[in-house]
């Protein structure tokens, strides 16, 4: 069977793509280690942020209220406190870890699907998060 130049180009492109995936597979944990190692500095930077203007003026939580405290709690390993402050950082970290696991598997030629592929999941997740962000103002 003869390989055309188009087949060779596709094979080379696929190899380059997998090489880039493997670089990301290495870089993401390194960045995570650096963030964890520098967590005290990151937490300090969070203390320099001004108070939420929406909460200050209207006395209601905006979608970002509690994110800094939530991330600080996550960096300290306190998941329950993080969830109490704001659920969005926890959801994003969970989705990120799942996507990373899929990336690692794909980098080694295994296709696994941890994250749902149907848009309805993300629509429902967005609706639930929106409901949470509204309801938490009344609790």
pLDDT tens, residue order, the chain (139 aa): 555 666 777 778 888 888 888 888 899 999 999 998 999 998 899 889 888 898 889 988 888 888 989 999 998 999 999 999 999 999 999 999 999 999 888 878 888 999 999 999 999 999 999 999 999 888 8
Q: Note down the domain range covering 25.
A: 5-135
Residue 64 has a pLDDT of: 87
The Cα–Cα gap between 6 and 122 comes to 37
Angstrom CA distances, 86 to 69, 109, 139, stand at 8, 36, 13
Angstrom CA distances, 98 to 31, 56, 94, 95, 109, stand at 17, 36, 6, 5, 17
Nearest to 124 by CA among 97, 89, 91, 102: 91
Give the chain's domain count: 1
Q: How many helices (DSSP H) and strands (DSSP E) are in the chain?
A: 7, 0
- Count of CB atoms situated within 10 Å of the CB of 82: 23
Nearest to 94 by CA among 74, 117, 119: 74
The Cα–Cα gap between 139 and 136 comes to 5
Residue 6 has a pLDDT of: 64
């Amino acid at each position: 069977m003869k390989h055309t130049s188009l087949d060779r180009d596709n094979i080379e492109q696929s190899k380059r793509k997998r090489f880039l995936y493997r670089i990301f597979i290495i870089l993401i944990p390194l960045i995570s280690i650096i963030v964890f190692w520098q967590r005290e500095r990151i937490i300090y930077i969070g203390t320099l942020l001004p108070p939420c203007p929406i909460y200050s003026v209207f006395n209601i939580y905006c979608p970002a209220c509690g994110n800094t405290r939530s991330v600080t709690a996550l960096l300290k390993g306190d998941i329950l406190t993080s969830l109490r402050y704001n659920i969005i950082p926890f959801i994003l970290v969970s989705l990120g870890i799942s996507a990373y696991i899929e990336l690692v598997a794909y980098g080694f030629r295994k296709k696994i699907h941890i994250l749902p592929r149907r848009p309805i999941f993300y629509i429902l997740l967005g609706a639930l998060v929106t409901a949470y962000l509204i309801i938490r103002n009344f609790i």
